[in-house]
Structure 1
């Protein structure tokens, strides 16, 4: 009987108007955010358009695939010299000081080495800052893979001394193309916030919308206890929100992978300057799974508190209405 009642509750939410509204707003949100994510990707192009960005991402994938996976000091220095050779060339800047590279080979080289350069900038910049000019004040011949690790460990000790004790020893940087996973880890919080908003709406539909099917009356005619009614509704909300959350996350992930690719899933997240100070010694796929599960836990918390608050308010209102005398 419980399964049938849950099915009826789910069916209550699955009607053409609700499905259309949900699909419409989800498609608009995911498409808009996806295009914004591509346009804001750290890939240089001399023509501002989505197609140019996609071509730039593809070229970056091909170029970074040629970098040695186990980064050596020689490869690191050559990359930095190639990068600074472009950024220090005044002909690559316009009159207002903005980077304006026209040579196609220089663009490929810039995109190929920009992530490594940014990693070094992050490692040598003061805590919680990112100063691109710092490369002009460093002797590139003195920069080694080990020195980057030393700077990272010192910065992590500044954040929390206990973090450094949890770090496993890393002797080399496993560098390569991982832009798709980096982008996903950056975008997931916004996708999860949207999912939580949808969770609130679903909870409201399950607990409040009774117009057509009059579910509460059906349950009460079966002499069902109030606590069981709320349990059935809570299980329904959990099922609906779980299905919606993982559907939204997987759809957006598929969109990102379709453009950025799946390469780099097994690389350490510390190979990206964005996650250089992470105390977790895990790869991008593991970080993705952890973030998805944390987001799901947040959805469960939102679902629980919404169900609790709605039930509490309805109980108070029902109690208040009984005490009203006419």
Structure 2
């Protein structure tokens, strides 16, 4: 079987094509990172740069700007003791302002003392409409377990990486199916018929080898692409801040889950990988049914288009169907910002946990169907 997998892998993804894909990903990653870097230029009212992105990030990375978001820090912000326009200070002011419905300079001592209680109230507000009040209280209580006061520091590398991975992983998981379309196609150059006839278990070995090859090629492309993209982002924007809580960012201040940027990143790439193997399993099932690359491409294209066109304003469709489709699985921010609530057997299940479980079930079913249908078709061809 190893020989069949080796030959099939080389047929589908040659070294030359793999290197070309890697270079394309590298160019895209560097371009994306440079675009992110340019966002840190600070301009005056005339549009002139007063602080370059390089200087802005260099200053904000200094350890002296790491701080705890306690009452003293909050009072300093209200009193505007630091009026600099550097990133570390603007992020801090914006983070505090997002927790209230009034201007920072209008905050009272009571507001300052109740900062984290106000945060919990906002967490509940974001979850309203997604569940019953008692369930919202349970989830919000999890938000109280976050270590307070929050530790703040430089996190731009990880923050940009986790945000930009949404679009990047979406492109990767939608491209991989078209690369593996030829797994079940006939290729006289590889003489696969002679290979599987000469094996001990014949057609069953060939089917297993082809399926393994499809997932292997998909995994190689996904892991390589994510690795290149991640290293490019972090190399340009910095590796610092992996252990800081995601609530230190304005985007995730009201996230009810206690996790660090590194944990968020690992969860994102895990969900992305599972979305990829689901796409591969569906593609293999399509191609083994239609038996033609062109027809398989039409099916895959149709499936991708349908996923992107589903309505966003229908709660029932979103809650019970759309959230579990690969295209929507990789909308990672939906797990942390206004997450939907699922209750099974009286227990609250985080959306990302249920998405992983349902996706693995879909992967198992589609892969089993692919093996069954392919074995039947091969048997009929050999009669």
The bucket for the TM-score relative to the shorter chain is 0.7 to 0.9
Q: Is the 8 A contact 1:196 1:299 kept in 2?
A: yes
Residue 165, structure 1, aligned to residue 164, structure 2: no
Number of the residue aligned with 2:229: 252
C-alpha spacing 1:3/1:68, structure 2 compared with 1 (3 Å): closer
Q: How does 1:135-284 map to 2 (within 5 A)?
A: 135=103, 138-139=106-107, 141-144=109-112, 146-158=113-125, 159=127, 161=136, 162-167=138-143, 168=145, 170-208=147-185, 210=187, 212-216=189-193, 218-220=195-197, 225-284=202-261
Residue 205 of structure 1 deviates from its aligned partner by 3.7
Q: Which one has a bigger Cα radius of gyration? A: 1
**In 1: Cα distance, 2:206 partner to 2:31 partner:** 39
Q: Is the 8 A contact 1:6 1:233 kept in 2?
A: yes
Number of the residue aligned with 2:33: 34
Number of the residue aligned with 2:58: 58
Q: Is the 8 A contact 2:12 2:180 kept in 1?
A: no
What is the TM-score of this pair, normalised by structure 2?
A: 0.65
Residue 196 of structure 1 deviates from its aligned partner by 0.6
Number of the residue aligned with 2:356: none
Residue 274 of structure 1 deviates from its aligned partner by 0.9
**In 1: Cα distance, 2:146 partner to 2:199 partner:** 63
**In 2: Cα distance, 1:122 partner to 1:78 partner:** 17
C-alpha spacing 1:23/1:257, structure 2 compared with 1 (3 Å): closer
**Cα RMSD over matched residues?**
3.2
**In 2: Cα distance, 1:53 partner to 1:197 partner:** 33
Residue 68 of structure 1 deviates from its aligned partner by 4.9
Higher alpha-carbon deviation: 187-196 or 20-29: 20-29
Unaligned runs of 5+ in 2: 292-372
Residue 289 of structure 1 deviates from its aligned partner by 0.9
Number of the residue aligned with 1:67: 65
Residue 295 of structure 1 deviates from its aligned partner by 0.9
Give secondary structure in 1 for the equivalent of 2:114.
Answer: helix
Number of the residue aligned with 1:89: none
C-alpha spacing 1:30/1:206, structure 2 compared with 1 (3 Å): farther
C-alpha spacing 1:225/1:310, structure 2 compared with 1 (3 Å): farther
Q: Is the 8 A contact 1:77 1:140 kept in 2?
A: no
Residue 247 of structure 1 deviates from its aligned partner by 1.6
Unaligned runs of 5+ in 1: 87-105, 126-133
Give secondary structure in 1 for the equivalent of 2:190.
Answer: coil
Give secondary structure in 2 for the equivalent of 1:186.
Answer: helix
Residue 112, structure 1, aligned to residue 88, structure 2: yes
Residue 296 of structure 1 deviates from its aligned partner by 0.8
Residue 6 of structure 1 deviates from its aligned partner by 0.5
Give secondary structure in 2 for the equivalent of 1:265.
Answer: coil
Residue 181 of structure 1 deviates from its aligned partner by 1.2
Aligned residues: 284
Q: Is the 8 A contact 1:230 1:311 kept in 2?
A: no
Give secondary structure in 2 for the equivalent of 1:212.
Answer: helix
